């Protein structure tokens, strides 16, 4: 891991009318790391991710991805940047009119350089990686279970071999088994493709398993950014509630390194 910044957020404010969602946020994501963005429901995680994707413009401040400012980027430059990242949306956001295969093939087809056989192989490979068998490839998204929709969404997100992967709540609404499978999958993808991952979640187990660094978004601010052990040591009511509750302690016992105040399982 080196210190090259893939995503940089400087002095970001978001206001919806009178409501302030983000107040003066600074955050940087380094190459090769998994940054987990945690915070309660409605704390603005999804909005922050959407701003990193250029889908929403912050009221004030700047978001730079791969060194380019998203706000000032030319359309062509923005399109180039967008080809370097993969995005997984909360609900999967599969194209409901296209089959599973076509969903994953779509970003590849858009590039217009690859022949059909190569596209087929890449799609089958990506589906294989997320554990979707080839026989499901012709199904429509409406015929899939929630877990499968997520896995196909992930396959589509990594179809273009992105350097940067945004994941918004990849485990929300899954049973613990499936949720663990998705976490393992993200872990494996991160290891094999050496991706930079930005992950928004309030799933403690996913956070413990995946995070290199954790950013805690509470009451419009980032109250703590750092390795899990540093964040847990911070004195803040939300952090104490979130990490050091009974449920939090159980999840933290699975951490890779010993954490202050947490007994190892």
Partner 1 sequence: MPEAAALPTNAPQLRQASAADGAVRVELYGVWNLAALEQRLGELKPQLTACARDARSHWDLSAVTMLDHAGALLLWRTWGRKRAPQLSLRPEHEALFEHLALVPDRPAPPESGDRAAPLVGLGRGVLALVEHLAGIVQLLGHLLLDVANLARHPSRIPWREISATLYRTGAQALAITALVGFLIGVTLSYLSARQLQLFGADIYIVNILGIAILRELGPMLAAILVAGRSGSSMTAQLGVMRVTQELDALAVMGISPTRRLILPKVVALGIALPLLVLWTNAIALVGGMLAAQIQLEIDYRFFLSRLPDVVPLANLWLGIGKGAVFGVLIALIACHFGLRIRPNTESLGAGATASVVAAITVVIVVDAIFAVIFSGIGLTR
Q: What residues make contact with partner 1 under the rule CB under 8 A?
A: 83-84, 95-97, 111, 113-114, 117-118, 120-122, 124-126, 128-129, 134-135, 137-138, 140-142, 160-161, 191-193
C-alpha–C-alpha distance, residues 159 and 88, integer Å: 11
Closest to partner 1 by CB, 123 or 204: 123
b/e 121-139 (16+ beta carbons within 10 angstroms → b): ebbbebbebbebeeebbee
Q: Which is nearer to partner 1, 74 or 117 (CB)?
A: 117
141 versus 147: smaller Cβ distance to partner 1: 141
DSSP character at residue 256: S
Question: Which contiguous run of DSSP H or E holds residue 107?
Answer: helix 100-111
142: which DSSP letter? G
CA-to-CA distance for 9 and 11, rounded, in angstroms?
A: 7
Helix (H) or strand (E) holding 150: helix 146-157
**The residue to which tokens 């998203």 are assigned:** 70
Instruction: Compare residues 99 and 220 and give the one whose CB is closer to partner 1.
Output: 99
What is the spatial distance between Cα 78 and Cα 71, in angstroms, rounded to a whole number? 9
Q: How far is the CB of 121 from partner 1 (least distance, A)?
A: 5
Q: Which is nearer to partner 1, 111 or 247 (CB)?
A: 111
At its nearest, how many Å lie between partner 1 and the CB of residue 194? Answer: 8
């Amino acid at each position: 891991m080196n210190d090259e910044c893939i995503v940089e957020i400087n002095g970001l404010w978001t206001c919806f009318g009178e409501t302030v969602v983000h107040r003066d946020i600074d955050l940087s994501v380094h190459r090769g790391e998994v940054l987990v963005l945690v915070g309660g429901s409605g704390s603005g995680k999804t909005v922050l991710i959407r701003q990193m994707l250029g889908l929403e413009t912050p009221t004030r401040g700047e978001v730079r991805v791969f060194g380019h400012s998203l706000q000032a980027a030319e359309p062509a430059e923005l399109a180039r940047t967008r080809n370097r990242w993969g995005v997984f949306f909360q609900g999967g956001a599969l194209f409901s009119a296209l089959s599973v295969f076509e969903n994953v093939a779509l970003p590849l087809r858009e590039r217009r350089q690859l022949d059909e056989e190569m596209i087929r192989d890449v799609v089958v490979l990506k589906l294989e990686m997320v554990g979707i068998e080839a026989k499901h490839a012709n199904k429509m998204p409406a015929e899939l279970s929630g877990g499968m929709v997520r896995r196909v969404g992930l396959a589509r997100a990594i179809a273009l071999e992105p350097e940067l992967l945004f994941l918004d709540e990849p485990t929300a609404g899954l049973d613990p088994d499936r949720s663990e499978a998705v976490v393992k999958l993200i872990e494996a993808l991160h290891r094999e493709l050496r991706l930079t991952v930005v992950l928004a979640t309030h799933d403690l187990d996913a956070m413990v398993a995946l995070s290199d660094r954790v950013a805690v978004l509470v009451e419009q601010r980032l109250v703590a950014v750092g390795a899990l052990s540093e964040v847990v040591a911070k004195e803040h009511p939300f952090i104490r509630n979130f990490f050091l509750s009974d449920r939090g302690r159980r999840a933290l016992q699975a951490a890779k390194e010993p954490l202050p105040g947490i007994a190892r399982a």
